[in-house]
Homo-oligomer: A and B are copies of this chain.
């Protein structure tokens, strides 16, 4: 299991507000029952790498469907094969060391 942090940013939209695009992405993740956490700077999704990149592909298309002509996507994937990783566990491990 891996974790992906994904930010999807439509460019050249003419408005500084992007929350409607992010709401479309959030709706998609909720409808598909994909385990995730929305943060102020992106969305963190749990899954194996194959699944994560397929989801990234789907999410990337959402702003184009809403009219964007250019989309910038930033992804970070942390994939650890020696240990299971689930949403919330890394924060818990850090907090146990404070």
Instruction: Write the residues of chain A forming the contact surface with B, with a CB cutoff of 8 angstroms.
Output: 3, 5, 7, 9, 11-20, 22-23, 26-27, 30, 37-42, 44, 49-50, 53, 56-57, 60, 64, 69-83, 87-91, 93-95, 97-98
Total copies of this chain within the assembly: 4
Name the contact of A94 in the complex, choosing from B26, B74, B94 (C-beta under 8 A): B26
- Which residues of B lie under 8 Å from residue A91 when comparing CB positions? 38-40
Interchain CB contact under 8 A, A71 and B60: no
21 contacts between A and B (CB under 8 A): A11-B13, A12-B14, A12-B18, A16-B82, A22-B90, A23-B94, A26-B95, A37-B39, A37-B40, A38-B94, A39-B39, A42-B76, A49-B57, A49-B60, A70-B79, A70-B80, A71-B79, A72-B77, A72-B79, A73-B77, A75-B77
